[in-house]
C-alpha cells in the first residue's frame, strides 16, 4: 500500500511569538498559552500531552497521558509505577513532554527529569478520582499481557463487590511523577514555514537562557 502525502499543505497564520514579548520564566508562558488554548480554541482535553521515555529495551517510546497539575517546579501526571512507563522512568528519569494544539497552531516541547511526588500528594489525588477510576487502577496490572478483556471485567466485578461500602486506598504502586524542566521550546506556526521557535534553557544559577531558533 502506498499513499503520497506530499500535497498535504497548510499555511499557519493564527499567531506570532516574538522574543521581545516573552516572560523571563517559561512556566508563565506555558500558563498563558494553556489558558488561551483552553478558553479560545476548540481543543478537546487541552491537558493531553505526549510523554517520551527511553525504555528498558533501549528504544524511545511515546504515549499520551493527561497533565494533572503544573507549578513553577514542574509538571505532574499519574501512572502505575510498575507499568512499562513507570519502570522506564525509574531506570532513566530523563524524559520529554510535548503538547500539540492543532487549532492554535502551537506546540511545546519540554525536557526534564521525572521523580515521584510525595505519597500524601498521590493519596490526595487518588481520593479525588471517581470510584470506577480508583478500582481500575487496582484491577489493571498495567502493561502486563492479558488473555482477553473479559479477564479485566471479571476482576473489576470482584473488586466492586469486595469494596462495596468501603473506602478504596491508593495502591502503593500507583502515584504521581513530577517532571522538573531543564528546557522548554515554544513553537508557533507562521506563514511560509518561517515558524517562531523560542527556547528556554535552565542555567546553573537557576535563571533561564532565552533564544530564538531557526524554524
CA–CA distances in Å: residue 58 to residues 19, 93, 96:
37, 14, 15
Q: In the block, which residue shows the cell 477510576?
A: 133
Instruction: Give the C-alpha separation, 179 to 95, whole Å.
Output: 8
Question: Which distant-in-sequence residues (6+ apart) come within 8 Å of 48 by Cβ?
Answer: 64, 65, 66, 67, 99
100, 94 in Cβ contact below 8 A? Answer: no
Quick check: is 199 catalytic? no
Contact 78, 174 (CB under 8 A): yes
Distance of CA 198 to the CA centre of its chain: 20
User: Long-range contacts of range 193-200, CB-CB < 8 Å, 24 or more positions apart?
Assistant: 195/12, 196/16, 196/17, 196/18, 197/17, 198/17, 198/19, 198/22, 198/29, 200/26
* Annotated active-site residue in 63, 131, 149, 193: 193
Closest CA to 213 of 180, 192, 173, 184: 184
Residue numbers annotated as active site: 193
Amino acid at each position: 500500500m502506498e499513499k503520497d502525502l506530499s500535497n498535504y499543505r497548510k499555511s499557519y497564520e493564527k499567531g506570532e511569538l516574538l522574543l521581545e514579548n516573552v516572560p523571563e520564566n517559561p512556566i508563565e508562558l506555558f500558563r498563558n498559552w494553556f489558558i488561551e488554548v483552553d478558553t479560545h480554541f476548540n481543543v478537546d482535553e487541552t491537558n493531553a500531552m505526549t510523554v517520551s521515555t527511553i525504555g528498558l529495551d533501549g528504544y524511545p517510546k511515546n504515549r499520551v497521558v493527561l497533565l494533572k497539575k503544573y507549578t513553577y517546579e514542574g509538571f505532574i501526571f499519574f501512572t502505575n509505577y510498575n507499568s512499562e512507563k513507570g519502570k522506564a522512568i525509574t531506570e532513566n528519569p530523563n524524559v520529554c513532554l510535548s503538547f500539540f494544539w492543532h487549532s492554535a497552531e502551537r506546540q511545546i516541547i519540554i525536557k526534564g527529569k521525572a521523580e515521584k511526588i510525595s505519597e500524601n500528594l498521590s493519596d490526595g489525588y487518588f481520593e479525588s478520582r471517581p470510584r470506577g477510576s480508583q478500582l481500575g487502577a487496582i484491577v489493571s496490572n498495567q502493561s502486563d499481557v492479558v488473555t482477553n478483556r473479559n479477564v479485566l471485567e471479571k476482576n473489576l466485578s470482584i473488586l466492586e463487590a469486595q469494596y462495596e461500602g468501603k473506602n478504596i486506598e491508593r495502591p502503593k504502586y500507583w502515584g504521581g511523577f513530577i517532571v522538573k524542566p531543564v528546557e522548554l521550546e515554544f513553537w508557533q506556526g507562521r506563514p511560509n514555514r518561517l515558524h517562531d521557535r523560542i527556547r528556554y534553557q535552565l542555567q546553573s544559577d537557576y535563571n533561564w537562557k532565552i533564544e530564538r531558533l531557526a524554524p
